Amino acid sequence: MVQLWYPATNVRAYPKAPWVSPAVAEVLNPPGSGVLLPVTHGHVGAPVRPGRHPVVVYSPGFSIDRAASTALVEDLASRGFIVVTIDHTHEAPLVEFPGGRVEVAAIPVPTTPEEEEQILTRALAVRVADARFTVNQLAAINKGRNPDAARRPLPRGLRGALDMSRVGMFGHSFGGAATAQTMYEDRRVRAGLNMDGTVFGRVVTAGLNRPFLLLGSQAEDEPDETWVTLWANLRGPRHQLELLGSGHLSFSDYQVLLPQSGVPAEDLEPLLGTIDGERSVAVQRAYVAAFFDRYLRWGDGRLLTGPSRRYPEMRIVA
Protein backbone atom coordinates (compact mmCIF):
# COMPACT_ATOMS: atom_id res chain seq x y z
CA MET A 1 0.00 0.00 0.00
CA VAL A 2 1.44 3.36 -1.02
CA GLN A 3 0.36 6.98 -0.91
CA LEU A 4 1.36 9.71 -3.38
CA TRP A 5 1.93 13.30 -2.23
CA TYR A 6 2.40 15.92 -4.95
CA PRO A 7 2.14 19.65 -5.74
CA ALA A 8 -1.40 20.49 -6.81
CA THR A 9 -2.89 23.18 -9.02
CA ASN A 10 -6.14 23.60 -7.08
CA VAL A 11 -7.36 22.08 -3.80
CA ARG A 12 -10.80 23.67 -3.58
CA ALA A 13 -13.59 21.09 -3.26
CA TYR A 14 -11.08 18.33 -2.55
CA PRO A 15 -11.26 16.99 1.03
CA LYS A 16 -8.26 17.11 3.32
CA ALA A 17 -6.45 13.82 3.82
CA PRO A 18 -6.51 12.28 7.31
CA TRP A 19 -3.18 11.43 8.96
CA VAL A 20 -4.01 7.71 8.89
CA SER A 21 -6.72 5.55 7.28
CA PRO A 22 -10.02 4.89 9.13
CA ALA A 23 -9.12 1.41 10.44
CA VAL A 24 -5.76 2.62 11.76
CA ALA A 25 -7.43 5.70 13.28
CA GLU A 26 -9.89 3.48 15.16
CA VAL A 27 -7.03 1.58 16.76
CA LEU A 28 -5.12 4.75 17.67
CA ASN A 29 -8.25 6.60 18.74
CA PRO A 30 -10.92 4.20 20.04
CA PRO A 31 -14.36 5.64 20.85
CA GLY A 32 -14.29 7.63 24.05
CA SER A 33 -10.53 8.06 24.15
CA GLY A 34 -10.70 11.80 23.60
CA VAL A 35 -7.56 11.71 21.43
CA LEU A 36 -7.53 14.07 18.46
CA LEU A 37 -5.57 12.70 15.50
CA PRO A 38 -4.12 15.28 13.11
CA VAL A 39 -5.42 16.16 9.69
CA THR A 40 -2.80 16.69 7.00
CA HIS A 41 -2.33 19.61 4.62
CA GLY A 42 -2.91 17.29 1.64
CA HIS A 43 -6.15 17.16 -0.37
CA VAL A 44 -7.36 13.85 -1.79
CA GLY A 45 -7.59 13.65 -5.58
CA ALA A 46 -6.57 17.22 -6.39
CA PRO A 47 -5.12 17.74 -9.89
CA VAL A 48 -1.34 17.63 -10.22
CA ARG A 49 0.55 20.82 -10.95
CA PRO A 50 1.89 20.78 -14.53
CA GLY A 51 5.54 19.98 -15.05
CA ARG A 52 7.96 17.13 -14.49
CA HIS A 53 8.64 16.68 -10.79
CA PRO A 54 11.49 14.79 -9.09
CA VAL A 55 10.35 11.72 -7.16
CA VAL A 56 11.24 10.77 -3.57
CA VAL A 57 10.33 7.41 -1.99
CA TYR A 58 9.86 7.18 1.81
CA SER A 59 10.27 4.08 4.01
CA PRO A 60 9.31 4.32 7.72
CA GLY A 61 10.95 2.78 10.78
CA PHE A 62 10.66 -0.87 11.74
CA SER A 63 7.05 -1.84 12.60
CA ILE A 64 5.87 1.73 11.90
CA ASP A 65 3.41 2.82 9.22
CA ARG A 66 3.82 5.16 6.27
CA ALA A 67 2.31 8.18 8.08
CA ALA A 68 5.22 8.39 10.51
CA SER A 69 7.01 11.31 8.82
CA THR A 70 4.08 13.13 7.25
CA ALA A 71 5.45 16.48 8.46
CA LEU A 72 8.52 16.01 6.25
CA VAL A 73 6.67 14.34 3.38
CA GLU A 74 4.05 17.03 2.86
CA ASP A 75 6.72 19.75 3.09
CA LEU A 76 8.69 18.12 0.26
CA ALA A 77 5.51 17.93 -1.81
CA SER A 78 4.88 21.62 -1.19
CA ARG A 79 8.33 22.32 -2.65
CA GLY A 80 7.58 20.55 -5.92
CA PHE A 81 8.57 16.94 -5.24
CA ILE A 82 6.33 13.92 -5.72
CA VAL A 83 6.74 11.84 -2.57
CA VAL A 84 5.67 8.21 -2.35
CA THR A 85 5.21 6.69 1.11
CA ILE A 86 5.24 2.90 1.52
CA ASP A 87 3.49 0.67 4.05
CA HIS A 88 5.48 -2.54 4.37
CA THR A 89 2.63 -5.01 4.76
CA HIS A 90 2.90 -7.61 7.57
CA GLU A 91 5.67 -5.56 9.18
CA ALA A 92 3.64 -2.40 9.78
CA PRO A 93 1.24 -2.91 12.72
CA LEU A 94 -1.85 -2.32 10.60
CA VAL A 95 -2.32 -1.69 6.87
CA GLU A 96 -5.74 -0.84 5.44
CA PHE A 97 -6.32 -1.45 1.74
CA PRO A 98 -9.07 -0.07 -0.51
CA GLY A 99 -12.37 -1.73 0.30
CA GLY A 100 -11.52 -2.04 3.98
CA ARG A 101 -9.25 -5.10 3.92
CA VAL A 102 -6.86 -4.90 6.87
CA GLU A 103 -3.56 -6.76 7.23
CA VAL A 104 -1.78 -6.91 10.59
CA ALA A 105 1.85 -7.41 11.54
CA ALA A 106 3.22 -10.93 11.24
CA ILE A 107 6.83 -10.46 12.36
CA PRO A 108 7.83 -13.33 14.68
CA VAL A 109 9.32 -12.54 18.07
CA PRO A 110 12.98 -13.63 18.08
CA THR A 111 14.22 -15.82 20.92
CA THR A 112 17.93 -15.64 20.12
CA PRO A 113 20.28 -13.04 18.59
CA GLU A 114 20.64 -15.32 15.57
CA GLU A 115 16.88 -15.35 15.02
CA GLU A 116 16.76 -11.57 15.36
CA GLU A 117 19.44 -11.19 12.71
CA GLN A 118 17.57 -13.55 10.38
CA ILE A 119 14.32 -11.62 10.85
CA LEU A 120 15.98 -8.28 10.16
CA THR A 121 17.79 -9.65 7.11
CA ARG A 122 14.50 -10.97 5.71
CA ALA A 123 12.66 -7.74 6.53
CA LEU A 124 15.35 -5.70 4.77
CA ALA A 125 15.10 -7.85 1.63
CA VAL A 126 11.31 -7.40 1.61
CA ARG A 127 11.61 -3.65 2.02
CA VAL A 128 14.08 -3.38 -0.84
CA ALA A 129 11.75 -5.45 -3.01
CA ASP A 130 8.85 -3.19 -2.00
CA ALA A 131 10.80 -0.07 -2.92
CA ARG A 132 11.97 -1.41 -6.28
CA PHE A 133 8.47 -2.64 -7.14
CA THR A 134 7.12 0.79 -6.22
CA VAL A 135 9.57 2.51 -8.58
CA ASN A 136 8.49 0.10 -11.32
CA GLN A 137 4.83 1.01 -10.77
CA LEU A 138 5.62 4.72 -10.72
CA ALA A 139 7.21 4.33 -14.14
CA ALA A 140 4.02 2.61 -15.33
CA ILE A 141 1.84 5.40 -13.91
CA ASN A 142 4.01 7.95 -15.68
CA LYS A 143 3.21 6.22 -18.97
CA GLY A 144 -0.53 6.41 -18.34
CA ARG A 145 -1.17 3.01 -16.78
CA ASN A 146 -3.18 2.60 -13.60
CA PRO A 147 -1.85 -0.11 -11.25
CA ASP A 148 -4.36 0.69 -8.50
CA ALA A 149 -5.78 -2.63 -7.27
CA ALA A 150 -9.25 -1.11 -6.77
CA ARG A 151 -9.14 0.57 -10.21
CA ARG A 152 -9.75 3.96 -8.67
CA PRO A 153 -9.03 6.85 -11.04
CA LEU A 154 -5.68 8.54 -10.59
CA PRO A 155 -5.42 12.30 -10.05
CA ARG A 156 -5.68 14.39 -13.20
CA GLY A 157 -2.29 15.37 -14.57
CA LEU A 158 -0.30 12.55 -12.94
CA ARG A 159 0.63 10.97 -16.25
CA GLY A 160 3.99 12.36 -17.35
CA ALA A 161 4.40 14.37 -14.14
CA LEU A 162 6.97 12.05 -12.55
CA ASP A 163 10.55 12.64 -13.63
CA MET A 164 11.83 9.08 -13.34
CA SER A 165 15.35 10.21 -14.18
CA ARG A 166 15.44 12.05 -10.81
CA VAL A 167 14.46 9.54 -8.11
CA GLY A 168 15.60 9.80 -4.49
CA MET A 169 14.75 7.88 -1.32
CA PHE A 170 14.81 8.50 2.42
CA GLY A 171 13.78 6.69 5.56
CA HIS A 172 13.85 6.72 9.33
CA SER A 173 15.64 4.04 11.36
CA PHE A 174 15.16 0.71 9.52
CA GLY A 175 13.79 2.76 6.63
CA GLY A 176 17.18 4.47 6.43
CA ALA A 177 18.83 1.06 6.18
CA ALA A 178 16.37 0.12 3.44
CA THR A 179 17.25 3.34 1.61
CA ALA A 180 20.96 2.51 1.55
CA GLN A 181 20.46 -1.10 0.46
CA THR A 182 17.90 -0.11 -2.21
CA MET A 183 20.40 2.36 -3.66
CA TYR A 184 23.02 -0.41 -3.76
CA GLU A 185 20.65 -2.74 -5.64
CA ASP A 186 18.90 -0.22 -7.88
CA ARG A 187 20.81 2.51 -9.70
CA ARG A 188 17.58 4.33 -10.54
CA VAL A 189 17.70 5.78 -7.02
CA ARG A 190 20.11 8.68 -7.46
CA ALA A 191 20.29 10.08 -3.92
CA GLY A 192 19.54 8.69 -0.46
CA LEU A 193 19.06 9.95 3.09
CA ASN A 194 19.21 7.86 6.26
CA MET A 195 17.60 9.35 9.39
CA ASP A 196 19.17 7.74 12.45
CA GLY A 197 19.14 4.17 11.16
CA THR A 198 21.75 1.47 11.76
CA VAL A 199 22.75 0.17 8.33
CA PHE A 200 22.46 -3.47 7.26
CA GLY A 201 23.24 -5.49 4.18
CA ARG A 202 25.87 -5.64 1.49
CA VAL A 203 25.89 -1.85 1.08
CA VAL A 204 27.78 -1.36 4.36
CA THR A 205 31.03 -2.74 2.94
CA ALA A 206 30.35 -2.30 -0.78
CA GLY A 207 29.42 1.36 -0.42
CA LEU A 208 27.78 3.70 -2.91
CA ASN A 209 28.96 6.05 -5.63
CA ARG A 210 25.95 8.40 -5.49
CA PRO A 211 24.98 11.15 -3.03
CA PHE A 212 24.13 9.97 0.48
CA LEU A 213 23.31 11.78 3.73
CA LEU A 214 23.53 10.36 7.25
CA LEU A 215 21.32 12.44 9.57
CA GLY A 216 21.63 11.34 13.18
CA SER A 217 20.35 12.10 16.65
CA GLN A 218 22.71 13.59 19.20
CA ALA A 219 25.29 10.96 20.07
CA GLU A 220 25.96 10.34 23.75
CA ASP A 221 28.16 7.25 23.39
CA GLU A 222 30.29 5.53 20.78
CA PRO A 223 29.34 6.16 17.13
CA ASP A 224 27.34 3.55 15.23
CA GLU A 225 29.99 1.26 13.74
CA THR A 226 27.86 0.59 10.66
CA TRP A 227 27.91 4.32 9.91
CA VAL A 228 31.66 4.43 10.33
CA THR A 229 32.11 1.54 7.90
CA LEU A 230 29.59 2.83 5.37
CA TRP A 231 31.08 6.34 5.48
CA ALA A 232 34.49 4.98 4.52
CA ASN A 233 32.91 3.26 1.52
CA LEU A 234 30.85 6.17 0.20
CA ARG A 235 32.53 7.23 -3.04
CA GLY A 236 30.02 9.83 -4.17
CA PRO A 237 29.05 13.12 -2.49
CA ARG A 238 28.58 12.36 1.21
CA HIS A 239 27.26 14.30 4.20
CA GLN A 240 26.84 13.58 7.89
CA LEU A 241 24.74 15.78 10.16
CA GLU A 242 23.72 15.63 13.83
CA LEU A 243 20.55 17.22 15.20
CA LEU A 244 21.51 18.52 18.64
CA GLY A 245 19.11 17.70 21.46
CA SER A 246 17.30 15.04 19.44
CA GLY A 247 16.42 11.41 20.19
CA HIS A 248 15.69 8.47 17.90
CA LEU A 249 11.98 9.28 17.46
CA SER A 250 12.72 12.95 16.77
CA PHE A 251 12.75 11.99 13.08
CA SER A 252 9.05 11.19 13.06
CA ASP A 253 5.72 12.92 13.71
CA TYR A 254 5.71 11.39 17.19
CA GLN A 255 8.09 14.11 18.37
CA VAL A 256 5.13 16.50 18.22
CA LEU A 257 2.28 14.08 18.95
CA LEU A 258 3.61 12.18 21.98
CA PRO A 259 4.10 15.27 24.18
CA GLN A 260 0.35 15.91 23.76
CA SER A 261 -0.46 12.49 25.30
CA GLY A 262 0.09 13.61 28.85
CA VAL A 263 3.17 11.45 29.37
CA PRO A 264 5.70 13.36 31.50
CA ALA A 265 8.46 15.01 29.48
CA GLU A 266 11.16 13.22 31.45
CA ASP A 267 9.70 9.86 30.43
CA LEU A 268 9.73 10.86 26.75
CA GLU A 269 13.20 12.33 26.79
CA PRO A 270 15.03 9.03 26.03
CA LEU A 271 12.99 8.77 22.81
CA LEU A 272 12.56 12.41 21.81
CA GLY A 273 15.54 14.16 23.35
CA THR A 274 15.19 17.70 24.64
CA ILE A 275 14.66 19.64 21.42
CA ASP A 276 11.26 21.28 20.94
CA GLY A 277 9.20 19.14 18.56
CA GLU A 278 7.99 21.90 16.27
CA ARG A 279 11.47 23.39 16.07
CA SER A 280 12.86 19.97 15.23
CA VAL A 281 10.37 19.66 12.36
CA ALA A 282 11.36 23.07 10.99
CA VAL A 283 15.08 22.28 11.07
CA GLN A 284 14.66 18.86 9.47
CA ARG A 285 12.42 20.23 6.73
CA ALA A 286 15.11 22.70 5.74
CA TYR A 287 17.93 20.14 5.55
CA VAL A 288 15.97 17.29 3.95
CA ALA A 289 14.76 19.70 1.28
CA ALA A 290 18.27 21.13 0.80
CA PHE A 291 19.69 17.64 0.21
CA PHE A 292 17.13 16.56 -2.37
CA ASP A 293 17.11 19.98 -4.00
CA ARG A 294 20.89 19.78 -4.39
CA TYR A 295 21.03 16.31 -5.88
CA LEU A 296 17.70 15.99 -7.72
CA ARG A 297 17.28 19.61 -8.88
CA TRP A 298 20.85 20.93 -8.99
CA GLY A 299 20.31 23.40 -6.16
CA ASP A 300 23.26 24.95 -4.33
CA GLY A 301 22.88 22.88 -1.13
CA ARG A 302 24.60 25.57 0.92
CA LEU A 303 23.00 24.37 4.15
CA LEU A 304 24.91 21.11 3.83
CA THR A 305 28.34 22.69 3.66
CA GLY A 306 28.75 24.57 6.93
CA PRO A 307 27.13 25.83 10.16
CA SER A 308 23.98 27.91 9.84
CA ARG A 309 23.10 30.81 12.12
CA ARG A 310 19.45 30.20 11.27
CA TYR A 311 19.64 26.54 12.28
CA PRO A 312 22.25 26.25 15.06
CA GLU A 313 20.66 22.97 16.20
CA MET A 314 22.16 21.16 13.18
CA ARG A 315 25.81 20.22 13.51
CA ILE A 316 27.87 19.44 10.42
CA VAL A 317 29.80 16.29 11.35
CA ALA A 318 31.46 15.77 7.97
Contact 75, 285 (CB under 8 A): yes
Quick one: pLDDT at residue 26?
A: 86
pLDDT in tens, 47-76: 999 999 999 999 999 999 999 999 999 999
Cβ neighbors of 45 (< 8 A, separation 6 or more) are: 14, 155
Domains and CATH numbers, the chain: 48-54+108-316 (3.40.50.1820)
Helix, strand, coil shares of the chain, percent, nearest 5, are 35, 20, 40
- The CA R_g of the chain, rounded to the nearest whole Å, is 19
Residues 6+ apart with CB under 8 A from 174: 59, 61, 62, 120, 123, 124, 127, 197
CA distances from 256 to 116, 177, 207 (A): 31, 24, 34
| Global confidence as pTM | 0.94
CA dist., res. 83 & res. 103, Å (int): 23
What's the confidence (pLDDT) of residue 221? 74
Which residues of the chain carry a pLDDT beneath 50?
none
64 vs 195: CA distance, rounded Å: 14
> Residue 176's closest CA among 206, 201, 151?
201
Q: Which helix (H) or strand (E) holds 279?
A: helix 277-296
Q: What is the pLDDT of residue 2?
A: 95
For residue 50, the model assigns a pLDDT of 96
User: What is the DSSP pairing of strand 162-172 with strand 102-104?
Assistant: unpaired
DSSP 286: H
